Amino acid sequence: MPADPLHRAGNPRAGIPQRSTTSPPSPGSKASAVEVRRSARRRRTVSAYREGDRTVVLIPARMSEAEEQRWVNVMLDKLAAQESKRVLGDAELAERAERLSEQYFGARARPTSVRWVTNQNTRWGSCTPSEGSIRLSHRLQGMPEYVVDYVLVHELAHLLVPGHGPNFWQLLEAYPRTERARGYLEGVVAADRLPHLPAAREE
């Protein structure tokens, strides 16, 4: 979602629900514009849906700006996860990598193959620059689109800079959701490390 502040409209004293919108997405971005609609009728629930080329998030009128921003991010992630449940095939994944390379690296990163694999349980993706091959872990399937795109961009960058030196991270700065995607993946790893309590038995 764009980092621009939300623009507010409406007069809450007149009992009219407030409406907030972000500015339109930047050129070349897949993110849609977001409109936040506040309602005095809503007490606790938050919901969101797509409306054409924008995302509408419905929240209670009493929410603070910080709560609003947090819930916008949560609902965008939730919608993205629901929409990405359809598993991309290897051909579609390769097409996606080609588009990302063109968008962020001027089409300089040209993989010879991009595919899903099931034998990567400790890494999200891998790249063999000498062969031009990129492999993504099947565990990414069903995660938000921007997370999958981040891993693809990460591996595409390795075709241009093999190591993880300053030049590599400078390349990744071109992808605007790098930090958010990294935070999401770190959260998944942390959740997997939590102890799993045995299910309670019914008497």
Secondary structure class of 76 (helix, strand, coil): helix
Q: Could you read off the pLDDT of 184-198 as tens digits, one per residue?
A: 999 888 887 776 545
Residue 93 has pLDDT above 50, yes or no: yes
Q: Which of 7-21, 88-102, 180-194 has the lowest mean pLDDT?
A: 7-21
Q: Could you read off the pLDDT of 152-163 as tens digits, one per residue?
A: 999 999 999 988
Name every residue whose Cβ is closer than 8 Å to that of residue 90 and which is 6 or more positions away in sequence.
Answer: 114, 115, 116
> What's the one-letter identity of residue 197?
L
Looking at residue 79, its pLDDT comes to 82
Cβ–Cβ < 8 Å for 26, 4: no
pLDDT tier for residue 88 given thresholds of 50, 70 and 90:
confident
Q: How far from each other are the two terminal CA atoms of the chain, in whole angstroms?
A: 49
